[in-house]
């Protein structure tokens, strides 16, 4: 873990729970793509910088989930590097309490204010093409989170952030976190068409052919959609009933973190299916209920 692997004349990635990209540019300067999950990840990145006499000029955050920005503060404090994040992700990076607050839908209790859901604050600026070192370009990848992006390097290597999961991850967790299901599916359809020397997903193996894995993730979304539609077909259900039945169906273990992560995702599915007129809402006895619309 945390080995630095070269996959192009200027492009490396650091093997970690959420892969970290590293791009060499002028005069021994490097830019990171994400920073890992915490201070310890930042220290391991710093070791690679020191061993190779690299100077860190900037960190480009693909999005603001804690496992991608957790090393920001340590590396910024140690090196003075500039941090950039796209769109709304910049606000979440500057104010990381927004992530557990968003997931919970209110002020988050202490059990949610930990490094896995809330990174330490770092000072981020808004990402744009104008601030990129020569040889990098931005790839819009919305869906998993608000304004998530990936990056393409001059070595024809594409960093895909969290826009898809490995088969092993899908089999283990079943319901991967999503913010906007419609945008997520559009992103995956676009990713299926991409050609590159190498693709580096944050949570899957590096590959030169991303289309099969993208299709696997698309299929999983439609599987979950169909399960929700079936659950709500015979009787209207409240959100908590839908969530409980999905946890039972997929044999998931309930804890507070899973409640907010899977729960937020299920709400996103319900929104998507409501907008698509595959579900409708009923109100009864002070409860909001979801019922499937017949095809």
The CATH number of the domain where 271 resides is what?
1.10.10.10
Strand partners, 58: 31, 82
Q: Residue 174 domain-assigned?
A: no
Is the domain of 77 the same as that of 150? yes
Judgement on whether residues 152 and 227 belong to the same structural domain of the protein:
no
Task: Based on the fold, state whether residues 91 and 20 are members of the same structural domain.
Answer: yes
pLDDT band of 26, cuts 50, 70, 90? confident
Domain finish residue from 115, 133, 162: 162
Residues listed for the chain: 295
Report how far residue 91's alpha carbon sits from residue 196's, in angstroms, rounded to the nearest whole number: 31
Specify whether the CB–CB gap between 269 and 184 falls below 8 A.
no
Looking at per-residue pLDDT, the higher value among 1 and 72 belongs to 72
Among 116, 138, 162, which residue terminates a domain?
A: 162
pLDDT tens-digit series, residues 142-154: 999 999 999 999 9
Tell me how far apart the alpha carbons of residues 69 and 42 are, in angstroms, rounded to a whole number.
10
Q: What is the DSSP letter of 207?
A: B
**274 within some domain:** yes
Residue 202 lies in a domain: no
Let me know whether 134 and 31 are in one domain.
yes
In a domain, 200, yes or no: no
Do residues 134 and 232 share a domain?
Answer: no
Mean pLDDT estimate for the chain: 97
Q: What pLDDT is recorded for position 83?
A: 98
The secondary structure of residue 193, as a DSSP letter, is T
Residues 154 and 248 in one domain: no
Q: Report the CATH number at residue 58.
A: 3.60.15.10
- In this structure, is residue 175 part of a structural domain? no
Alpha carbons 165 and 14: distance in angstroms, whole number: 18
pLDDT digits (tens, 9 = 90+) for 32-79: 999 999 999 999 999 999 999 999 999 999 999 999 999 999 999 999
**Structural domain boundaries, residue 226:** 222-292
Residues 154 and 226 placed together within one structural domain of the fold: no
Asked if 132 and 60 sit in the same domain, the reply is yes
Per-residue pLDDT, 27: 82
Q: Are 120 and 114 in contact (CB under 8 A)?
A: no
**Averaged over 285-289, what is the pLDDT?**
97
Domain count for the chain: 2
Query: Of the candidates 11, 5, 15, 1, which has an alpha carbon nearest to the alpha carbon of residue 201?
Result: 15
Is residue 13 assigned to a domain? yes
Summarize pLDDT for 100-152 with one digit per residue, the tens.
Answer: 999 999 999 999 999 999 999 999 999 999 999 999 999 999 999 999 999 99
In a domain, 247, yes or no: yes
């Amino acid at each position: 873990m945390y080995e630095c692997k070269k996959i192009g004349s200027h492009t490396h990635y650091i093997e970690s729970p959420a892969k970290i990209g590293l791009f060499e540019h002028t005069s021994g300067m490097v830019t990171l793509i994400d920073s890992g999950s915490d201070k310890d990840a930042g220290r391991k990145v710093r070791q690679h910088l020191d061993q190779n006499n690299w100077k860190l000029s900037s960190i480009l955050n693909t999005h603001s989930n804690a496992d991608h920005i957790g090393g920001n503060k340590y590396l910024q404090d140690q090196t003075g590097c500039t941090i950039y994040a796209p769109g709304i992700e910049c606000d979440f990076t500057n104010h990381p309490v927004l992530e557990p607050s968003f997931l919970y839908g209110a002020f988050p209790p202490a059990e949610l204010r930990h490094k896995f859901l809330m990174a330490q604050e770092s000072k981020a600026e808004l990402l744009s093409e104008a601030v990129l070192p020569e040889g990098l370009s931005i790839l819009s990848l919305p869906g998993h989170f608000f304004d998530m992006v990936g990056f393409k390097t001059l070595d024809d290597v594409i960093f895909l952030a969290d826009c898809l999961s490995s088969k092993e991850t899908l089999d283990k967790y079943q319901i991967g976190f999503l913010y906007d299901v419609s945008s997520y599916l559009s992103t995956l359809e676009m990713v299926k068409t991409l050609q590159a020397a190498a693709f580096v997903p944050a949570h899957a193996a590096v590959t030169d052919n991303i289309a099969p894995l993208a299709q696997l993730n698309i299929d999983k979304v439609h599987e979950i959609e169909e399960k929700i539609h079936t659950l709500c077909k015979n009787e209207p259900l409240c959100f908590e009933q839908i969530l409980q039945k999905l946890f039972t169906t997929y044999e998931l273990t309930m804890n507070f973190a899973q409640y907010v992560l899977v729960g937020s995702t299920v709400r996103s599915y319900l929104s998507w299916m409501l907008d698509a007129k595959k579900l409708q809402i009923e109100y009864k006895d002070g409860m909001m209920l979801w019922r499937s619309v017949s095809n």
